[in-house]
Structure 1
Amino acid sequence: MAAEQKQKLEQQLWNIANTLRGKMDADDFRDYILGFIFYKYLSTKMDLYANEILKPDGLTFQEVEGHSDEALLMQELKSLAIDKLGFFLEPSELFSELARRGNAGGKNNFILGDLAKVLTHIEQSTMGTESEEDFGNLFSDLDLTSHKLGKSESDKNELIVKVLVHLDEIDFDLENVDSDVLGDAYEYLIGKFASGAGKKAGEFYTPQQVSSILAQLVTVGKDKLKSVYDPTCGSGSLLLRVAKEVKTVNAFFGQEMNPTTYNLCRMNMIMHDVHYKRFDIKNEDTLERPQHYDMRFEAIVANPPFSANWSASPLFMNDERFSAYGKLAPSSKADFAFVQHMVHQLDDNGTMAVVLPHGVLFRGGAEGHIREYLIKDKNYLDAVIGLPANIFYGTSIPTCILVLKKRRENPNDILFIDASQHFEKVKTQNVLRTEDIGKIIDTYKNRSTEEKYSHLVQTQFIVSQDYNLNIPRYVDTFEEENTIDLKVITDELRELAIFGKATDTTIADFCEELGIERPF
């Protein structure tokens, strides 16, 4: 039943999103529709919570406005809501009320000004409180004055009212505390937008199939986590995926450089009912200005931007994240800088899993030096997993996953898995199936060896290979070609020649009979 409900909600929300689709590009209508869904979510949470508080008094939230004790009741409700929910809305500011006013009498009633004030008030209601950072500027990407919504104010208002009215008709079923149907539907929408966003998709979304692998890798043998961290958290989908693999995650931490994506991540956390006190997402450049520098995390997952530029400033040689290695990752390829950063943040009993381009496995220079330090000096590398090409949005390059631990259960070997040929082609994209993901995880858990798929390699042998981790060196996927019998081929060619001559003779006879010139 939950699956049907989820599918229905996803389709309803996508249909409403398409109301905006013809008006603007994917990035813009994504921000508007996700923002409005989030506003409705907050309104519904506020309404449900206020009604629960007021029930002993025989009041509903709507009845507070105009009540003889309105000021006192409103003050008490705000205090309780700020602590419990992290924000506050008045009855007249609820989503359903704005939708009703905008469509009252079936007319296009102007509400854009009121809507802008409400969204601002949500953010302002948290000022000076513990949740201020988590709600500040959340709606900054919803520009209700943008010409993208329409040429005239009336056109803009008509479009927004249309979206709000359609959204208001959908039951988010938030009373069902055991259901995360809305959170999953929100995640579905983010994925749909990513699939059509081309190269930009990599900035905010990791495909669920890859998220699932990373999440399962860092939770092997655990049913609860003290903390999970993603230094390039995008929309937060990877952090939330880790939570699906265990019973509880006490705290979520992340950093995201893009302000719009940072807002999306915080919305995504709240929409999945992660309390504001349980997540700490920062808007900054992770490598240049790390915001959780002194913290250590039990699980770390990441899909950093592939081979991104970074400053590689010599000043970083005094930074604990990089100083022990003796060399910095190249300024044109920050891949190993992210690895070094993650290793620095990893707790002694933790596991980290990071997606990287294949080049990190064999490129020389500083990257080769960093690989040597991680393997020879620290012995942190636990597994190397090769993924199929063309499974990420916006790039077709093959990728790999590095799994690292500070306390390895198997310190004398490293597991190599070549999963590059195990996928299904769907249209133009390669997709990892459930069985492909299961095979990777089972192989990692059991550290099993399978011909042409996985191999346990002694660390000393990797030393002899000059710390080159290129997977074909360790997992032989060579397929022998069938033996060719040259005598059989010669006989077949001779028979074809004889048949050709007979055909030429037949054609010549027909041409002579018809009185036309032969073609040869």
Structure 2
Amino acid sequence: MTKTIEFEKKTKELIDSLKSVCANYGLGNDGNEFKIITQVFLYKFLNDKFIHEIKILDPKLTKADKIEESLKSLKADEYEMLTSQLNVNTAILKPEHFISNLFARQNEPRFAEIFDNTLLEISKENSKIFSVVTEGGEKITLFENLSKYVTDKRDEFCKAIINKLVNFSFENIFHEKFDFYATIFEYLIKDYNTNSGGKYAEYFTPHAVAKIMARCLVQGKVKNVTCYDPSAGSGTLLMNLAHQIGEDRCTIYSQDISQKSSNLLRLNLILNNLVHSIPNVVKGNTILDPYHKDKKGKLQTFDFIVSNPPFKLDFSDYSAQLNTKENHERFFAGIPNIPKAKKESMAIYLMFLQHIMHSLNDNGKAAVVVPTGFITAQSGIERKIRERLVEHKMLRGVISMPSNIFATTGTNVSILFLDKANTKGDIVLMDASKLGETIKEGKNQKTVLRHEEEEQIINTFNEHKSVEDFSVVVSYEQIKEKNYSLSAGQYFEIKLTHIEITREEFENRIKEFDKSLLNLFNESQILDRSIRDGLKSIVHE
């Protein structure tokens, strides 16, 4: 544990030192700083991972004083033979790509060009496995020309970056587990966790929410399953889901309209040994142009789906294009009207929710973050979706979360669980809104669940427990009787307390009530006279 804490501290210090370099060259809080920080961090990670895996393949190299020099001495065919044995999670580097090589060349003229070309060559060599694709088929490779973001002293900037990287090693970190990398990833992106204008859902879903979703979705051991998020962001939900299943027992699929979030998701996949899923990461508009389809051109269906979609977004530019024969079943409940004012209030989450329902296979399960208002709305698209969930018997339950569980939104949220195999019912509705403690995060108030509260939610949900004023287990028929409401509070029993008293005690209490009422009546009359007398004196004056 002490070693893990030490590794975490040193890794965070590396990230801070890279941010310091950016600040010293005028890029502090610049829109391009995140590109530099995340790509340089990834370059260092891939460099050290390559060396680490090569040592495992050829133990003789471990004894070499400088492994990079030993690799340089290999003949081209020997080097190719060695690197061909690396697993898919390891990017292939040539000796000239090593950080040690750039460190040795830092005083050469036009070093920024050498630095940039090294990154571009690594991208090209590993394009097939490590590229994110767009819906139009273009590839977004690992790295870009980074020195272009510096307006002056580019050589010095690149030297400063290399000098920070050369004194640090990921060597002892590769065997760390999911929680370590989740913490590092959160720290890495914490300053870049919002999108300009606030148009999209925040990139980072709180770990408590992600963990609850994953552990309530996955029951027992599963293997060879597909996991999908149509609004993936940086992939926090997918990472938690994959960790719960086992990274080697699932394949990740995703789509997100933001190139920034797609790049962050790729970084997350690399850190978490899910490189095999990078070709399934798509930058594109899921609602207008869903990318993942089967061989017949129909939308692909999945075993598990998780999503924290944007709740409101102006999609009026293409909403009319969604009303097609092909989309009739996918958007069965309809498309939100375009408001005359506040177009940004269009409930796009309803489109994502319908898309998710359409994308589940016959035994598919899903967990989706929705505004709590969705679970009780008595008309419109919300009501039609809930009716479909009940009539088609594909509902697993709802957990209503505490307010401010997301620091960036004041909207109360619930987690909606779907299960196409839950035909018999046994639906858990839970009101967890009173749990958690409030802390301040920047200018915002945020509610944080304690570990024992997380476990309480997960265990109660998975064990189908009814707990007074907390959870209830209901059937599809009961939900119909309650006008398709999914609010736990509407199913809680109203308890009446009966106290046995004698007739004499009853009469004495009635007398006390009468006396109290008479006193209140007299006080009221005195007050009324006082007010009238005061008004008369004002008139006479």
Superposed, 1:16-415 pairs within 5 Å as: 16-19=17-20, 20=22, 23-25=27-29, 27-53=31-57, 60-65=67-72, 67=73, 70-77=75-82, 79-80=84-85, 84-85=88-89, 87-102=91-106, 111-127=111-127, 129=128, 133=132, 136-139=139-142, 143-146=146-149, 149=150, 151-152=151-152, 154=153, 156-173=154-171, 176-177=174-175, 179=177, 183-190=181-188, 192-193=190-191, 199=198, 202-222=201-221, 224=223, 226-248=225-247, 249-276=249-276, 280-294=280-294, 295-310=300-315, 311-313=318-320, 315-319=322-326, 322-323=329-330, 325=332, 327-330=334-337, 332-363=346-377, 364-376=379-391, 378-408=392-422, 410-411=424-425, 413-415=426-428
Partner letter of residue 147 of structure 2? L
Q: AA paired with 2:9?
A: K
The offset of 1:11, in angstroms, is 3.2
2:131–2:278: 8 Å Cα contact kept in structure 1?
no
Kindly indicate whether the alpha-carbon contact (under 8 Å) linking 1:201 and 1:394 is maintained by their aligned counterparts in 2.
no
Structure 2 CA distance for aligned equivalents of residues 246 and 468 of structure 1:
32
Task: Calculate the TM-score normalised by the size of structure 1.
Answer: 0.79
Q: Which runs of 5+ in 1 are unaligned?
A: 495-520
Instruction: Please name the residue that 1:508 is paired with.
Output: none
User: Residue 310 of structure 2 aligns to a residue in which SS?
Assistant: coil
1:64: how far off?
4.6
Measured against aligned partners, the alpha-carbon deviations of 1:259-290 in whole angstroms (never above 9, x if no partner) come to 12111111210122223357621111111111
* Aligned CA distance change for structure 1 residues 321 and 240 (closer, same or farther; 3 Å): farther
Q: Deviations over 1:384-418 (max 9, x none)?
A: 1111121214212111110011011642x532111
Could you tell me how far apart the structure 2 residues matched to 1:393 and 1:201 are? 15
Matched residues in 2 for 1:180 and 1:353: separation?
21
* 1:457 counterpart (474, 491, 494): 474
Q: Aligned partners of 1:349, 1:402: CA distance in 2, in Å?
A: 17
Q: Distance in 2 between matches of 1:160 and 1:281?
A: 30
> Could you tell me how far 1:166 is from its partner in structure 2?
2.2
Moved more, 83-92 or 429-438: 83-92
Q: Does structure 2 conserve the Cα–Cα contact (< 8 Å) formed by 1:287 and 1:338?
A: yes
Q: Distance in 2 between matches of 1:257 and 1:423?
A: 33
In structure 1, how many angstroms separate the alpha carbons of the residues matched to 2:96 and 2:47? 10
Taking structure 1 as reference, are residues 62 and 137 closer, same or farther at Cα in structure 2, changes over 3 Å only?
Answer: farther
Q: Check conservation: 2:208, 2:449, Cα contact below 8 A.
A: yes
Q: Secondary structure at the match of 1:202?
A: coil
In structure 2, runs of 5+ residues without a counterpart are 295-299, 339-345, 498-512, 524-541
Q: How many equivalent residue pairs?
A: 476
2:451 to 417, 434, 459: 434
Q: Cα gap change, 1:472/1:309 in structure 2, threshold over 3 Å: closer, same or farther?
A: farther
Q: Can you list the C-alpha shifts for 1:314-356, whole angstroms capped at 9, x where unaligned?
A: 6545236735835335562122221121122222223110001
User: How much does 1:448 deviate?
Assistant: 1.5
Q: Percent identity?
A: 24
How many angstroms apart in 1 are the aligned matches of 2:475 and 2:169?
Answer: 57
Distance 1:387 1:471, change over 3 A: same
Instruction: Describe the shift of the 1:131–1:191 C-alpha distance in structure 2 as closer, same or farther (beyond 3 A).
Output: closer
1:55-76 CA deviation, whole Å, 9 max, x = no partner? 66998443454x4x74434444
| Bigger Cα displacement from structure 2, 166-175 vs 267-276 | 166-175
TM-score of the superposed pair, with normalisation by structure 2: 0.76
| Residue matched to 1:497 | none
RMSD (Å) for aligned C-alpha atoms: 3.8
Cα offset for 1:475? 4.5
**Cα pair distance change 1:398/1:205, threshold 3 Å:** same
Which whole-Å CA distance do the structure 2 matches of 1:339 and 1:375 have between them? 15
